[in-house]
């Protein structure tokens, strides 16, 4: 028992020393690499972002194992780890998808800015695709079978339909109209914009009045009733909590009921996702079922077929029953929900 503790102690000590050593080594590297004037823009790393990633805990030398003693004057480029050394599972899965011929890991990920799927906004996920697949062009190609393809692409990460990513939840983001444009489209509100609006500089306070890290229906209602004054709204997206890399065209995503059903409980689980100063997002749980309260919870979000309102559910069922009915169904839906929308459309 005693020797075990000793071992544990040594292990911990070693671990800590190693951690401290790596952190120190990172600091050495960052002395130059945090400054784009020294290393040039292409080689600069933002420590405010890097330091908050799990990769920072590994330290630069874990991935750049050989850095010449004379670096950078020796002109020898340091080694660069390949992702599969540590992410064998993901690499294997991705290699099985034909998309691996189109894009490498680092086309979609910056190794110095990695985040888990729940710390990335849905819009940011789609930004990784838009470098090669322009979003407006995608809305056009998808509209041949998907009504309101632009809305769908705005409210869904591409990976929800093109990978088997699962555990979908509804994530609410704060959006605002750009100050200059009276009629402009709403955009995701950034950290600094929200911070300026929050009374004590705490963004959470914009919705979470009692600061209990939980968003109740009552708090949503208050936030929504104040739209006129704040210019802020909530936008709901369906985002996956578990991400896979088996990129493909999944036939069952043409089946509207994959999403528009009153079914899977997971889709009623929802979060409010708030921008943080390091560019990642932090989630607060939202009262169960609150997003389905079309009147007060999330007046700007309708998941046809999964709403509490029976009228909406009925229309949802009609839409799902036959694609042909979509235009009519949708028109009716907008008619039925016109009162909810009266304030949001201009």
Chain positions 38 to 67 lying near ligand HEC, rule: CB under 6 A, are: 39, 42-43, 45, 50, 54-55, 58, 60-64, 67
DSSP 58-111: H-HHHHS----TTTTTT-PPPP---GGGT-HHHHHHHHTSGGGGT--HHHH--T
In the complex with ligand HEC, the residue whose CB is nearer, 97 or 205, is: 97
In this chain, which of 23, 52, 142, 293 binds ligand HEC, going by CB under 6 A? Answer: 142
Taking the complex as a whole, the smallest distance from the CB of residue 331 to ligand HEC amounts, in Å, to 10
- CB of 54 closer than 8 Å to CB of 71: no
Q: Take residue 85 and report the two structure tokens written for it.
A: 């050394």
Q: How many residues does the chain have?
A: 346
Stretch (H or E) spanning 2: helix 2-33
Q: Take residue 162 and report the two structure tokens written for it.
A: 């093109």
Taking the complex as a whole, the smallest distance from the CB of residue 206 to ligand HEC amounts, in Å, to 21
How many Cα atoms within 13 Å fall on the side-chain side of residue 339?
A: 4
Burial class of residue 275 in the structure, from the number of CB atoms within 10 Å of its CB (0-12 exposed, 13-18 middle, 19+ buried): buried
Q: Between residue 109 and residue 138, which ones bind ligand HEC under the rule CB under 6 A?
A: 109, 111-112, 114-117, 120, 125-126, 128-129, 131-133, 135, 138
In the complex with ligand HEC, the residue whose CB is nearer, 154 or 205, is: 154
d(CA 26, CA 45): 11
Taking the complex as a whole, the smallest distance from the CB of residue 293 to ligand HEC amounts, in Å, to 14
In this chain, which of 207, 294, 303, 312 binds ligand HEC, going by CB under 6 A? Answer: 303
- Going from the C-alpha of 318 to that of each of 253, 257, 300, the distances in angstroms are 18, 11, 21
Q: Greatest CA separation found in the chain?
A: 75
In the complex with ligand HEC, the residue whose CB is nearer, 207 or 238, is: 238
Binding string, residues 195-234; x marks residues near ligand HEC by CB under 6 A: ----------------------------------------
Q: Tell me if 258 contacts ligand HEC by CB under 6 A.
A: yes
Taking the complex as a whole, the smallest distance from the CB of residue 268 to ligand HEC amounts, in Å, to 13
In the complex with ligand HEC, the residue whose CB is nearer, 17 or 102, is: 102
Q: Take residue 200 and report the two structure tokens written for it.
A: 């004590």
In this chain, which of 155, 194, 220, 232 binds ligand HEC, going by CB under 6 A? Answer: 155
Q: Between residue 74 and residue 103, which ones bind ligand HEC under the rule CB under 6 A?
A: 77-78, 80-81, 83, 85-87, 90-91, 94, 98-99, 102-103
Q: 298: which residues sit within 8 A by CB, 6+ positions away?
A: 172, 220, 224, 234, 236, 290, 291
Taking the complex as a whole, the smallest distance from the CB of residue 36 to ligand HEC amounts, in Å, to 10
In this chain, which of 150, 162, 187, 287 binds ligand HEC, going by CB under 6 A? Answer: 162
In this chain, which of 220, 259, 272, 291 binds ligand HEC, going by CB under 6 A? Answer: 259
Q: Tell me if 292 contacts ligand HEC by CB under 6 A.
A: no
Q: Tell me if 247 contacts ligand HEC by CB under 6 A.
A: yes
Taking the complex as a whole, the smallest distance from the CB of residue 10 to ligand HEC amounts, in Å, to 22
- Going from the C-alpha of 2 to that of each of 9, 11, 95, 108, the distances in angstroms are 10, 14, 47, 49
């Amino acid at each position: 028992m005693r020797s075990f503790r000793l071992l544990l102690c040594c292990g911990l000590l070693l671990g800590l020393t190693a951690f401290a050593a790596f952190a120190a080594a990172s600091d050495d590297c960052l002395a130059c690499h945090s400054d784009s004037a020294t290393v040039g823009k292409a080689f600069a790393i933002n420590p405010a972002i890097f330091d908050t990633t799990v990769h920072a805990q590994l330290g630069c030398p874990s991935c750049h194992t050989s850095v010449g003693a004379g670096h950078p004057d020796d002109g020898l480029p340091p080694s660069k780890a390949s992702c599969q050394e540590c992410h064998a599972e993901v690499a294997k899965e991705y290699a099985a998808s034909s998309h691996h011929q189109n894009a490498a890991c680092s086309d979609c990920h910056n190794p110095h800015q990695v985040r888990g799927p729940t710390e990335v906004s849905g819009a940011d996920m789609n930004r990784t695709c838009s470098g090669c697949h322009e979003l407006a062009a995608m809305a056009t190609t998808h509209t041949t079978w998907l009504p309101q393809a632009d809305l769908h692409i705005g409210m869904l990460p591409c990976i929800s339909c093109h990978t088997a990513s699962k555990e979908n939840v509804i994530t609410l983001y704060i959006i605002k109209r750009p100050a200059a444009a009276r009629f402009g489209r709403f955009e995701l509100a950034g950290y600094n914009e929200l911070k300026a609006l929050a009374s004590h500089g705490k963004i959470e306070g914009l919705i979470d009045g009692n600061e209990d890290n939980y968003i109740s229906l009552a708090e949503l209602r208050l936030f929504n009733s104040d739209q006129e004054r704040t210019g802020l709204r909530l936008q709901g997206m369906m985002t996956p909590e578990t991400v896979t890399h088996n990129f493909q065209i999944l036939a069952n995503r043409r089946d509207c009921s994959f999403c528009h059903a009153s079914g899977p409980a997971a889709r009623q689980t929802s979060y409010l996702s708030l921008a943080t100063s390091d560019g990642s997002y932090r989630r607060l749980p939202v009262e169960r079922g609150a997003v389905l309260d079309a009147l007060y919870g999330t007046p700007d979000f309708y998941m046809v077929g999964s709403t509490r309102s029976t009228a909406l559910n009925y229309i949802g069922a009609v839409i799902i029953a036959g694609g042909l009915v979509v235009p009519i169904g949708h028109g009716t839906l907008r008619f039925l929900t016109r009162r909810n929308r009266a304030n949001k459309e201009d």
